[in-house]
Amino acid sequence: MKIAILSDFHFGFGTGTEREEDPYEAVREAIEKAKDSDLILLGGDVFDTRNPNAEVLARAMELLVKALLRKSGTRLVKGLGKDISKVSEIALMGTPIVAIHGTHERRTKGLLNPVEALEKAGFLVYLHCNGVVFEKNGEKVAVHGMSGVPDQYAESVLKNWNPKPVEGFNIFILHQSITEFLYAPHTLDLNILPKGFDLYVNGHIHEPRKAEYSGKPLLMTGSLIPTQLKEESTKPKGFWTFETKTLETRWIQLGNQRKVYYKTFENPDLETIEREIKKILEEEQRKKPIVRVNLKGKVKDTLTSEIESKFGDKILISFKREVPKSEIPTRTLEEHKLSVEEMGRKFLLENLEKSGLDPKTFENVFELLVEGKNEEATERLTRMPVKKKPKREVKETKQTVLFGEKAN
């Protein structure tokens, strides 16, 4: 079978900005270019938020249905820990789409995440710690999927699930920060992944890469649009196709993309930056390019606004100013790439930690609060064990003792 492997569409990213259309345009092109595939795999972060609005949902469905309307001859024959009688016939009438949810769509237990919602509506087959087997012309392909879980729990979730390859070609798909490929506070050691599968696929990491795990190909899907702007984000976006019989792996690059530039300047003056931006504008640009400007050292206060007013209509510019550690970091909301909801989540986590409450439970509590389920949230909070001595209190005690000694 020929399998198209795509991920991290982030539908809804950039809503209300000039980049609003980017995820839809990228996915439209990708689905068009994947038209000869027998099966489509989505590695999570289909949506940018856990509660996409009606506009975003409608546009996502409009694009996904294009694959469902394409005949493929691929049949769903078996569920592996999944009741396939609940999968809609609509999802299986053309080229089937199998998806897991990512970090951006994760919701607390009992609440429907948007990828699951798409399964219910008949647009795809959703996996989380289960699998499905497809068949075409006598060839069987099994997809085993683990949706995104907080990285610190990934190992125990995997252990509980304990997936095993079955007859046919076996694909293992997940959405985690894997140590070798991404820096994050908690990462997953690649070696805890189960062995014996024929192909490993991981979403989440926005820079595509082909690697190996226990002698088998491991594909980092990469995203279809750049979200956080890093040096690696300057590489063109695209997706993978994989041929199960020949193991042929191909990278399909998208054509109609916004170029991304990442420039660092040390003690810059306006002219130096202007010269660089003009060079960018001389290159062929189908869409307004994204330029990330990193400023180091001495920077005139008015510099960024001067550049904005000169080039703001020709490029999408994003400044990052590196400040010495002694200064207070001036990170903006935009730089954190946090929505208001994410900020709320962050504040609640910080407050829980300060109160000596177990922050591991914070996600559930926040979700319940967002849903207006205040009673349940209170109940969970009161059930949480309080740590014996929060670190902060210990420090304060020491300081008091010191002060007392001096006073004496």
**Sites of contact with Mn ion (CB under 5 A):** 8, 45
Specify the length of the chain in residues.
408
C-beta closer to Mn ion: residue 38 or 48: 48
Q: Give the nearest distance from C-beta 228 to Mn ion in angstroms.
A: 9
* Least distance between Mn ion and beta carbon 205 (Å): 8
Nearer to Mn ion, 9 or 134 (CB): 9
Residues forming a β-bridge with 2? 243
Query: Which residue's CB atom is positioned nearest to Mn ion?
Result: 45
For the bound state, the minimum distance from the C-beta of residue 102 to Mn ion, rounded and expressed in Å, comes to 6
Beta carbons within 8 Å of 57's beta carbon, 6+ residues apart: 114, 117
CB of 48 vs Mn ion, minimal distance in Å = 8
When the beta carbons of 47 and 134 are compared against Mn ion, the nearer one is 47
Q: How far apart are CA 147 and CA 280, in angstroms?
A: 39
Name the minimum Å distance from CB 220 to Mn ion. 12
Complex with Mn ion: residue 4 or 220, whichever CB lies closer:
220
* Closer Cβ to Mn ion, 102 or 289, answer by number: 102
Q: 3-class secondary structure for the chain? A: CEEEEECCCCECCCCCCCCCCHHHHHHHHHHHHCCCCCEEEECCCCECCCCCCHHHHHHHHHHHHHHHCCCCCCEEEEEECCCHHHCCCHHHCCCCEEECCCCCCCCCCCCCCHHHHHHHCCCCEECCCEEEEEEECCEEEEEEEECCCCHHHHHHHHHHHCCCCCCCEEEEEECCCECCCCCCCCCECHHHCCCCCCEEEECCCCCCEEEEECCEEEEECCCCCCCCCCHHHHCCCEEEEEECCCCCEEEEECCCCCCEEEEEEECCCHHHHHHHHHHHHHCCCCCCCEEEEEEECCCCCCHHHHHHHHHCCCCEEEEEECCCCCCCCCCCHHHHCCCHHHHHHHHHHHHHHHCCECHHHHHHHHHHHHCCCHHHHHHHHHHCCECCCCHHHHHHHHHHHHHHHHHC
Least separation, in Å, of the C-beta of 206 and Mn ion?
A: 6
Q: Between residues 91 and 224, which has the closer beta carbon with respect to Mn ion?
A: 224
Looking at the Cβ atoms of 8 and 367, the one nearer to Mn ion is 8
Minimum Å distance from CB 337 to Mn ion?
11
Report in angstroms how near the CB of residue 101 gets to Mn ion at its nearest: 11
Choose between 91 and 115: whose C-beta lies nearer to Mn ion: 115
Q: Considering the complex, what minimum distance in angstroms separates the CB of residue 399 from Mn ion?
A: 43
Rank residues 105 and 119 by Cβ distance to Mn ion and give the closer one: 105
